[in-house]
Structure 1
Amino acid sequence: MAVQNENSDFFKSNVLGHPAGLFVLFFTEMWERFSYYGMRALLVLFLTASLTGEKAGWGWPREHAMALFGSYTALVYLSTMLGGYFADKLIGYRWAVIVGAFLMTLGHASMAIETPFFIYLGLTLLVFGTGFFKPNMTSIISEMYKDTPEKKDGAYTIFYMGVNAGAFFGILLCGYLGEKVGWSIGFGLAGIFMLFGLLQFYFSQNIFGNIGLKPKMADDVALANSDATEINTNIMAESEVNKKNDDKRVPFTGWQLGIIAICSILGLVWVINDPVSKISGGKVNFFHIAGFDFSNIAIIVALLLFFFLLGYRLTQYSEVTRQKLTAVTFFAVFIFTFFVVFEQAPGSLTIFARDYTDRILTGSASLTFLIVNTLIAVVPLAIITWVLYLLFKKTFEKYALANIFLSVSFVIIWGITIWMLMKDFYSAGYLNLSDSTLEMLRIDKVTKKLTEINATWFNVLNSLFIIALAPLFSKWWESKYNPSANVKFGIGLILLGLGMGFLALGGMDIEPGAKTASVSMFWLVFVYLFHTMGELCISPVGLSYVSKLVPGRMIAFMFGVWYLAIAIGNKVAGIIGENSSAIAKEKGIGMFFLAIMVVSIIMGLIAMSTSKFISKLMHGIR
């Protein structure tokens, strides 16, 4: 097509066998994930940190912190539907990414101020910013590879590595600075690198040619560069597809749109009201009417109305389509369960690491950790810097300013990483530094002769295990032993449950009501190992089956159902985290993780036992 020819320079400029533009997206996504996961790792710790001390926080009880965190993560996923709509109908993918990155930069900058107004403002900006940013990066990749589908899997693999690299360094560096230097430094660093991601994308966006332009602009360009024969051919092809589709169109009627509006309003108000009412001690409650609290009734009504609408619309399609959509609904239930368990990481698991885990290392154990930590920080950073160099060679001539911003960001990240490692080696007594060097590097002149692992560090294990294990799981899926979708969900949920089982076992000796303990850190290592294996079974499966099973004209609605399941899962994860303190006080923290383990394994077994039934509903789709 003519549009593709106009983008020919972009497709000829290759890095590692892919268009250079893919790596522009790689680094933009990397810094966005750096900022998101860096802040995410710190938020609950900051909210629950003592009001006094060297690094004072807000002194909130865990219940309040988890209520706010659960609502924040739920709103992040719900906002993707808003961002996707604006991109598709009004501003295009490219400007949606730019708007999202700008809002997130402002959000992180606001949180660095640490006052209540600016923390809440920052979280609000991050919700809307992520909504604009998150869905539209992958949309640009999809457009880039629409004429070369055979290379799309490799492209998403590279892009996914950028996601994990950003999460890894965000947690490692923002977490370190936040816990050991100051919360505002950790929050602020997230904003700095989000700004670099924004500038790099903005000044190199022309590399994408016509991809991601405002919808009307893109249509005008396509029409201007397409001849009549090509247009007629496309129209005839679309006509043939429509003839083969025996499903009638089922547009949303007025009463159905009314139900959607009611559900949306009740759900959004409830998600916001839940932490507000708890934090304010009930002084602010949007559902407190005539002396009664209707909040639980409101959310139940919203869910019942939504399920009624979903069930009704399923009855309006042909039997085959209805069965495929039913299969997607089953998968949404499993993905909901996955997020309920998996999203304990930034909350319950991080608090367990801070309060109940022995994180002090001395002697050979200290030295071993410092060496391993150096390798896991420096080796990935060196590899990504090499990729940066390859991109630099291909694009500097045309996009010099974007490359300069990207290069500066890497100089800073290298500087922070080296400073962190030097500080740790010095504090542990393995590095001698002069007084002038210590003063220049702003390192305290105190040698503790030990290493204290910060609580957020354990979150980096997820990204490390993904990088190490993803190739093995990919080989498994390509082999003759590739299990069905249900079995993958089942295995993933069981692995998640077994992961929680390690903390249940490790926490069994912790007395009910204990505020602190010194459980071995290896229990947490095993948790993240099993949770990562569970993620690799589930995460790549879900959206793939939505796209395969759902007819094109209905995909927006079913993607909405999918993201709604994820949003509810995140909120329920927060609600469960809220109850960790009460359960720990009454029965012990081990029982809290044991209960989650049992539920996850039961759902995994249900997923596996319904495999044949749901396979029939899928009608041969694998």
Structure 2
Amino acid sequence: MAQATSLKHPKGLKFLFLSEMWERFGYYLMIGIFTLYLKDVKAGFAMTEAESADLYGTFIALVFLTPFLGGLIADRYLGYAKSIIMGGLMMGVGYCLMGVHNLAALYVAMTLVILGNGFFKPNISTLLGNIYSTPEYQDKKDDGYNIFYMGINVGAFICNFFGAALYILLGWEYAFLAAGIGMFIGVVVFISGLKHYRAFDIKKGVQEGDMSFTRITMLILAPAILAGIVGWILPQKLLGHALVGSNSTDAFIFACIPVIYFYSTLYFKANKIEKRPIAALLTIFMVVILFWAVFKQNGSALNTWADRYTDREVSNPTAKQIFSGLSLSQNVTYQKDSIALYDDAFRLQKNNGVVMKEYNYPPYFKNVPSEKLPAEGAEIELWATNLTQSINPAWVIILTPLIVAFFTWLRRRDKEPSTATKIIFGVFVSAISVLVMVAAVYAGNNGSEKVSVLWLMAGYGVITIGELLLSPMGLSLVSKLSPVRITSLMMGGWFLSTSIGNKLSGVLATLWDTYSDKANFFWVNFILLLSSAIIGFILLKWLNGIMKEMGIK
């Protein structure tokens, strides 16, 4: 009887799984085309590589910064279900609005997505942890988060095929509209399963010793906004240039200071029982920042690698029929002058002294060896760049059952490593994945020739193992270690570390064009991740000791 019970999962899991799947369908469809849209001169905003990477990094950083606020409001006032529904609706409207080709509309849309994710993301993860809080399901929590995480990646896998077909056939606005529709479907699914998790949607309220929301607004949120404004203006005024990369980066760094201060006060003001688990969580948050800094380059630097340096020609007749039939490819025409007259630094094309925007930025043929170039005016068929964004979620879908089975096998033999150990090994494995991209650079003679998409597939395959050891385990660890009264707030802390890493990913990606040797770009990423892993291994004994004290793994 006990064995049969241990194989079950709560009924609410499938609804949360499907809700998150559709939410991620919308989010990753949007992210997969975001920088491509920004750089499109003809139908986008004609941004440079650095400009698009900077805006991308700032956007995804803020998307994961607002869970701090969304988790706090849900914990004390709204509850999880209301917050999730409200956040989902805001994101859906935001995605649809991105299809309006206007810079002001784009920023409004981004703001809606940023705020909506703040209400949706931490609270659906916390609600999932709550439905596993009963003795019947407690030992299945890690597996539950892994299954939930696979739902995220089912949505992330299928969305890019829809996105590619829609922007090729109809235009960018229809792809963004599809993202919005996906989000609305997720909200409907969540509402339909309310009866299975309504009992776990319990507001914690304001506990004794908690800072009031008014006090948080005055001491944390208002200073964060003020600090952001100061960061945007002051370095530029004093130095004549941004302190780190760009004004938006400076603003983000300054704005994070009050929020980081708030989380540090949680430790210093905690009672003796809560102090050590909070310290362990804050340590994990710091260690994983560099993982996100590298991992989140999938939408910037690695998207650029797929676009410029990967052989995307559809030459096999069968493949051509498939890609053409699904509208996942488009024809480009070879024009010799688009290479000869192309100016990398300014993304401009010059013709008889007249400067013209390059519609097909970057020219696909620029790093094709001369002997492989087609005839002047000839067309070739290329599969859509954003399809590479489905490689990572495909690996997640393939590898998740294997990793869950592996740790189940270890658990039965009482040899399963702790959640903290899994996370640190996740950072280390992710560092190894960067070496695959170093090898890809060498294989393509530092970008002078295009390389097979198999390099990206291999790199994503390795980092996906690291991701599966880290990301769902992080959510599980927060659920296990957090004091009950601030669970959602600490979940917001996990997303804060993700936010800082996301912004750092944008900062790193803006440097792409400054590296003449692209291998050095990836070597820097490798060194950063390896350093983080080493720090994690040094602290691992202490982390495991805290978990053992609390009677958890």
TM normalised by structure 1 equals 0.68
Match of 2:427 among 493, 496, 520: 493
CA distance in 2, matches of 1:356, 1:152: 41
Alpha-carbon displacement from aligned partner over 1:143-174 (angstroms, at most 9, x marks no partner): 55544425655654543332211111112221
CA contact 2:67–2:492 (8 Å) conserved in 1: no
CA contact 1:266–1:299 (8 Å) conserved in 2: no
Alpha-carbon displacement from aligned partner over 1:408-440 (angstroms, at most 9, x marks no partner): xxxxxxxxxxxx74556999xxxxxxxxxxxxx
Count of residues in correspondence between the two structures: 486
CA contact 2:226–2:255 (8 Å) conserved in 1: yes
Match of 1:28 among 19, 23, 26: 19
- Computed over aligned residues only, the root mean square deviation of the Cα atoms, in angstroms, reads 3.8
- 1:452 partner SS: strand
| Structure 1 residues 367 and 574, CA gap change in structure 2 (3 angstroms) | same
Amino acid in the other structure paired with 1:264: A
Computing the radius of gyration from Cα coordinates, the structure with the larger value is 1
Is residue 551 of structure 1 aligned with residue 483 of structure 2? yes
CA contact 2:58–2:503 (8 Å) conserved in 1: yes
Aligned to 2:86: 99
CA distance in 1, matches of 2:313, 2:468: 31
Amino acid in the other structure paired with 2:532: M
Displacement of 1:450 = 7.3
Is residue 521 of structure 1 aligned with residue 453 of structure 2? yes
Equivalent runs, 1:194-343 vs 2, <5 Å: 194-202=183-191, 204=192, 207-208=195-196, 210-211=198-199, 251-252=210-211, 259-261=219-221, 264-266=224-226, 269=229, 273=232, 285=233, 314-317=267-270, 321-343=274-296
| Structure 1 residues 146 and 571, CA gap change in structure 2 (3 angstroms) | same
Alpha-carbon displacement from aligned partner over 1:6-43 (angstroms, at most 9, x marks no partner): xxxxxxxxxx9767654343333222111100001000
Aligned to 1:113: 100
Match of 1:561 among 476, 479, 493: 493
Amino acid in the other structure paired with 1:62: E
Displacement of 1:353 = 0.2
CA contact 1:489–1:608 (8 Å) conserved in 2: no
CA distance in 2, matches of 1:98, 1:307: 28
Match of 1:149 among 105, 123, 137: 137
CA contact 1:140–1:211 (8 Å) conserved in 2: no
| Structure 1 residues 370 and 165, CA gap change in structure 2 (3 angstroms) | farther
CA distance in 2, matches of 1:195, 1:555: 27
Amino acid in the other structure paired with 1:45: L
| Structure 1 residues 581 and 18, CA gap change in structure 2 (3 angstroms) | same
| Structure 1 residues 214 and 106, CA gap change in structure 2 (3 angstroms) | farther
CA distance in 2, matches of 1:425, 1:113: 24
Aligned to 1:193: 182
Aligned to 1:174: 163
CA contact 1:359–1:452 (8 Å) conserved in 2: yes
Alpha-carbon displacement from aligned partner over 1:529-559 (angstroms, at most 9, x marks no partner): 0110110111122232233333323545543
Displacement of 1:48 = 1.4
Structure with greater contact order relative to length (CA < 8 Å, sep ≥ 6): 2
Aligned to 2:529: 600
CA distance in 1, matches of 2:258, 2:109: 33
CA distance in 2, matches of 1:99, 1:599: 37
CA distance in 2, matches of 1:163, 1:588: 35
Displacement of 1:510 = 5.7
Displacement of 1:108 = 1.5
| Structure 1 residues 311 and 62, CA gap change in structure 2 (3 angstroms) | same
Alpha-carbon displacement from aligned partner over 1:357-376 (angstroms, at most 9, x marks no partner): 1111323xx636977x9xxx
Aligned to 1:473: 403
CA contact 2:61–2:502 (8 Å) conserved in 1: yes
Match of 1:453 among 365, 383, 392: 383
Displacement of 1:347 = 0.8
- 2:79 partner SS: helix
CA distance in 2, matches of 1:314, 1:568: 20
Aligned to 1:160: 149
CA distance in 2, matches of 1:308, 1:137: 26
| Structure 1 residues 199 and 309, CA gap change in structure 2 (3 angstroms) | closer
- Unmatched tracts of structure 2, length 5 or more: 1-6, 245-249, 332-377
CA distance in 1, matches of 2:264, 2:80: 32
CA contact 2:313–2:380 (8 Å) conserved in 1: yes
CA contact 2:11–2:196 (8 Å) conserved in 1: no
Amino acid in the other structure paired with 1:545: L
CA distance in 2, matches of 1:510, 1:119: 36
Aligned to 1:13: none
Aligned to 1:417: none
| Structure 1 residues 265 and 83, CA gap change in structure 2 (3 angstroms) | same
Equivalent runs, 1:582-621 vs 2, <5 Å: 582-583=514-515, 587-620=516-549, 621=552
CA distance in 2, matches of 1:570, 1:25: 25
Aligned to 1:122: 109
Displacement of 1:474 = 1.9
CA distance in 2, matches of 1:20, 1:450: 50
Alpha-carbon displacement from aligned partner over 1:113-165 (angstroms, at most 9, x marks no partner): 22212222211111122222223333444455544425655654543332211
CA distance in 2, matches of 1:320, 1:19: 30
Identity %: 28
- 1:33 partner SS: helix
CA distance in 2, matches of 1:344, 1:530: 15
Aligned to 2:318: 367
Displacement of 1:305 = 6.0
Displacement of 1:341 = 0.8
Match of 1:136 among 106, 123, 126: 123
